[in-house]
Chain A
Amino acid sequence: MGRQLDDSRPIFLQIAEQVENDIIDGVLKEDEQIPSTNEFAAFYRINPATALKGVNRLVDDGIVAKRRGIGMFVTAGARARLIERRRAEFAAEYLRPLIVEAEKLGIDIDELAGLLRAERIQS
């Protein structure tokens, strides 16, 4: 699985993000059940209260919803909403650091655009 938690951010956020990634990647489909808090706790070796906090964040964001007595399920339209949110964050999270580093190295915007295209062709 290769899923590592890191020390830079609260674990509950990382749990929520990994579920979000699974939804965006299509590993978890809409209407599908997500693992229980105790399953998250056992898998990541984390405190169940921390796992619960991560799941509750997804509930607050409307990404998953509780079905009484059964568990948590991915809501309809969750994937589209997540992608919309990630797009809004894309500039700040990825582009700004990229531009800062490019400026440091004397790469101007046109050259950067060229590099992006070249990288895309390679991959």
Chain B
Amino acid sequence: MTGTVVRASGLTKRYGNFTAVDGVDFTLEQDRIYGLLGRNGAGKTTVMQLLTGQLFPNAGTLEVFGREPAEHADVLRRMCFIAESQRYPEDFTSAHVFTAAPWFFEHWDAAFAERLVADFRLPTKRRIKKLSRGQLSAVGVIVGLASRAPLTFFDEPYLGLDAVARHIFYDRLLEDYAEHPRTIVLSTHLIDEVANLLEHVILIDRGRIMLDRDADEVRGSATTVAGPRAAVESFVADRAVIGREGLGGLASVTIDGRLDQRDRLQAAELGLELAPVSLQQLIVHMTGTDLGADTAEEVAA
């Protein structure tokens, strides 16, 4: 079964003079894993807070499970939002959190939560404020996974988690998602680590959507061409340039758009080197300051 879970149109959120989310349009389809990517302050968290009814938009329309999220308990019950720095009541242990979780999440799987506690080696009897930063993140990750909410948001879920713990998170997420498909939105800076988990990527910068594409379409969609400046320039002449670097007579230019066999041969004949651009590098190019606003328009075109 598939359907549209979230439909946002012209969605806008302002704080005084500052526009955090600037008239964005997007949809989230059921049972997909999304990456909501962008730099700090790009508007990712604001978008997620709007979707989960924690903020009211200033303009635009927003439907989550077919209706406005704010103040609709039936919609809110189907969502789980794991914030970067979740606060818990004073004196709470993680055992308290896991006991309370089924009151909010009807699909809560206590056995799965227990397994995750063991995986993450989380001390459940220690008070949460005494936990390390990584252990605190583990509490959030466990709630996010074991709640099995039809729409789950992870906002920078793993501050302080070590590489092993992060890979446990990725593995458990994939395993559980395979058995219990649901819509998951991952917001993170560790783009290289999650790139392969994502089915779809939404890149946001300064409150606007820069890229909204299937992850596999993004992969291999940009290439860095390096070599003698004149040869590079002639090769990229009629292509969409999203990044440009140079050193003396050498140039390295990143272009958007897939290269075919003929392009590759032409590049080889010109003595140019072609290098694939990872999702993370692409995002650095698209949201860096080197080319500014022109880049966004070229890519959108």
Cα-based distance from A41 to B172 in the complex (angstroms): 12
Q: Could you write out 9 A-B pairs with CB less than 8 Å apart?
A: A7-B220, A9-B220, A45-B171, A46-B196, A47-B174, A47-B215, A48-B178, A97-B268, A100-B265
In the bound complex, do residue A96 and residue B216 qualify as a contact, i.e. CB atoms below 8 Å apart?
A: no
In the bound complex, do residue A100 and residue B268 qualify as a contact, i.e. CB atoms below 8 Å apart?
A: yes
1/0 per residue, CB under 8 A from A, across B243-279: the answer is 0000000000000000001000100110100001111
B contact face: mostly helix, strand, loop, or mixed:
helix
- Residues of chain B within 8 A of A53, CB atoms compared: 216
Cα-based distance from A53 to B219 in the complex (angstroms): 14
What band does the interface of chain A fall in when counting residues whose beta carbon is under 8 Å from B?
20 to 34
Q: Decide yes or no whether A119 CB sits under 8 A from chain B.
A: no
- Quick one: which of B175, B216, B269 contacts A11, CB cutoff 8 A? B216
Q: Decide yes or no whether A22 CB sits under 8 A from chain B.
A: no
Q: Which residues of A contact B (CB under 8 A)?
A: 5-12, 37-38, 41-42, 44-50, 53, 92-93, 96-97, 100-101, 104
In the bound complex, do residue A47 and residue B219 qualify as a contact, i.e. CB atoms below 8 Å apart?
A: no
- Residues of chain A within 8 A of B174, CB atoms compared: 41-42, 45-48
- Closest residue of B by beta carbon distance from A97: B268
- Quick one: which of A8, A42, A49 contacts B32, CB cutoff 8 A? A49
Cα-based distance from A14 to B217 in the complex (angstroms): 13
- Residues of chain A within 8 A of B277, CB atoms compared: 7
Cα-based distance from A41 to B261 in the complex (angstroms): 29
Cα-based distance from A101 to B199 in the complex (angstroms): 38
Cα-based distance from A119 to B261 in the complex (angstroms): 27
Cα-based distance from A50 to B175 in the complex (angstroms): 14
Since A10-B219, A50-B196, A100-B269 are in contact, a sample of 14 more A-B pairs with Cβ atoms closer than 8 Å, ordered by chain A residue number, is A7-B277, A7-B279, A9-B276, A38-B175, A41-B174, A42-B178, A45-B197, A46-B196, A48-B178, A50-B215, A92-B265, A93-B261, A97-B265, A100-B265
A contact face: mostly helix, strand, loop, or mixed:
helix
In the bound complex, do residue B220 and residue A49 qualify as a contact, i.e. CB atoms below 8 Å apart?
A: no
Q: Decide yes or no whether B170 CB sits under 8 A from chain A.
A: yes
**Given known A10-B216, A42-B171, A92-B261, contact A47–B199 (CB-CB < 8 A):** yes
Cα-based distance from A41 to B268 in the complex (angstroms): 35
In the bound complex, do residue A96 and residue B219 qualify as a contact, i.e. CB atoms below 8 Å apart?
A: no
In the bound complex, do residue B216 and residue A12 qualify as a contact, i.e. CB atoms below 8 Å apart?
A: yes
Cα-based distance from A42 to B197 in the complex (angstroms): 10
1/0 per residue, CB under 8 A from A, across B160-182: the answer is 00000000001100110110000
Cα-based distance from A7 to B279 in the complex (angstroms): 8
Measured CB to CB, the closest approach of chain B to A65, in angstroms, equals 22
Interface centre among A10, A96, A100, A104 (most CB of B within 10 A): A10
- Residues of chain B within 8 A of A10, CB atoms compared: 216-217, 219-220
Measured CB to CB, the closest approach of chain A to B30, in angstroms, equals 12
- Residues of chain B within 8 A of A50, CB atoms compared: 196, 199, 215-216
Cα-based distance from A55 to B199 in the complex (angstroms): 16
- Closest residue of A by beta carbon distance from B216: A10
Cα-based distance from A104 to B90 in the complex (angstroms): 71
Measured CB to CB, the closest approach of chain B to A71, in angstroms, equals 15
Cα-based distance from A37 to B216 in the complex (angstroms): 16
